[in-house]
Amino acid sequence: MTAADTEARIAAVRAFITDLPYARALGLELRGVGAGWAELAMPYRADLVGDPATGIMHGGAVSALMDTTCGGAVMSHPDAGLATATLDLRIDYMRGAQPGQTVRARATCIRVTRTIAFVTATAHDDDADTPIAMASGAFTVSRPDGER
Amino acid sequence: MTGRVRPEPVQVVKQRRDATLSALVGRVPFIGTLGAVFERRGDELTAILPFRETLIGNPVLPALHGGATAGFLEVAALVELTWSVLWPEIESGRLTPEQVAQDTRLRMPKTVDFTVDFLRSGLPRDAYARARVNRSGRRYASVHVEGWQDNRARLFAQATGHFVMPEPPVRD
């Protein structure tokens, strides 16, 4: 894949990833994307809260942010195609995101084989020192040129 | 014959269980945003995710977004866990639906980790989930949840999660 191809791929991911219906429903925003990595943000919303006693956003909303960000990292990898699906995703919730703050997630492909992409992601709120969550997942890989 | 308390009428029991379940589900804004609902048979809960276009993650296939599936299973696990812990209190009448709806001292369990196994792509149809509490201790719980669509035996996703139990509410 040439550098121009990679640029075209990144542009495609940029146009595509936050336009997915469920990503739109949660208000996900693309903050950055490069070869094999992606960064997305989820601004705070009261209708995404899990426990009203704390005002903390639900783990299920953070899951969607993590899954989408990991998917973006796979799609933008030069050795993978634009089509990917989650095979397995583990999320560790280290602490609740501070109510009112945007959650940002950054995902990186650790290794991409002919069939599988291994991806990890970290999410933060305004406190950059302590992650709110970490994810690791396995994603399907389609060949960039469409061959199987 | 003395000492035997006559059982409550069935409609009173059902009304209390259903009102408590709907108060519990109604407490969680995210469940409403996702659009998940719960059905009850005795103490058994089934979570239902009616299909909507906003749940799509792959418009080409089309398929449910993995994040929507994960969120649905997590919601099913959390509600089942909270419900199973509260059940004796609900049955005894010590905990009223009003308390479940409004009492801010009643905390939900906190998710420590959640691992989703995506077995096949989620079709643009309704999805169902049932969770099983495999262990529920004073501080920690482990919950497994199965999700399916058209066929109960063909799961489209399953998940296991660990949770920290809330401190018991201080009663006055």
pLDDT digits (tens, 9 = 90+) for B130-144: 999 999 999 999 999
**B169, part of any domain:** no
CB atoms B29 and A67 under 8 Å: no
Specify the pLDDT at position B44. Answer: 97
Q: Which residues of A touch B (CB under 8 A)?
A: 20-26, 46-54, 57-61, 63-68, 71, 83, 85-93, 96
Q: Is the pLDDT of residue A6 over 90?
A: no
Best CA proximity match to A21, nearest among B66, B121, B124, B59: B59
Number of structural domains, chain B?
1
Q: Is the pLDDT of residue A90 over 90?
A: yes
* ipTM topping 0.85: yes
Pairing of strands A86-93, B56-58: unpaired
**B4, part of any domain:** no
Q: What is the CATH number of the domain that holds B22?
A: 3.10.129.10
The Cα of A5 is separated from the nearest Cα of chain B by a number of Å equal to 22
**B117, part of any domain:** yes
Query: B125 is in which domain, residue-wise?
Result: 10-164
Specify the pLDDT at position B172. Answer: 52
CB atoms A86 and B66 under 8 Å: yes
Write the burial class of residue B6 (CB in 10 Å: 0-12 exposed, 13-18 middle, 19+ buried): exposed
- B124 compared with A6, residue with greater pLDDT: B124
Mean pLDDT, chain A, rounded, equals 92
- B102 compared with B87, residue with greater pLDDT: B87
Specify the pLDDT at position A145. Answer: 62
**B83, part of any domain:** yes
Express each pLDDT in A57-68 by its tens digit.
999 999 999 999
Domain ranges (residues) in chain A: 3-140
Per-residue CA distances from B89 to B17, B20, B101, B133, B152 (Å)? 11, 11, 15, 18, 31
Q: What kind of architecture, by CATH, is found in domain A3-140?
A: Roll (3.10)
Specify the pLDDT at position B170. Answer: 54
Q: Is the pLDDT of residue A148 over 60?
A: no
Q: Which residues contact B153 (CB under 8 A, 6 or more apart)?
A: none
Q: Is residue A35 classed as helix, strand or coil in its secondary structure?
A: coil
Q: Is the pLDDT of residue A23 over 90?
A: yes
Q: Is the pLDDT of residue A143 over 90?
A: no
Return residues 66-95 of B near A (CB < 8 Å).
66-68, 70-72, 74-75, 78
Question: Residue A142 — φ and ψ, nearest 5°?
Answer: -105, 150
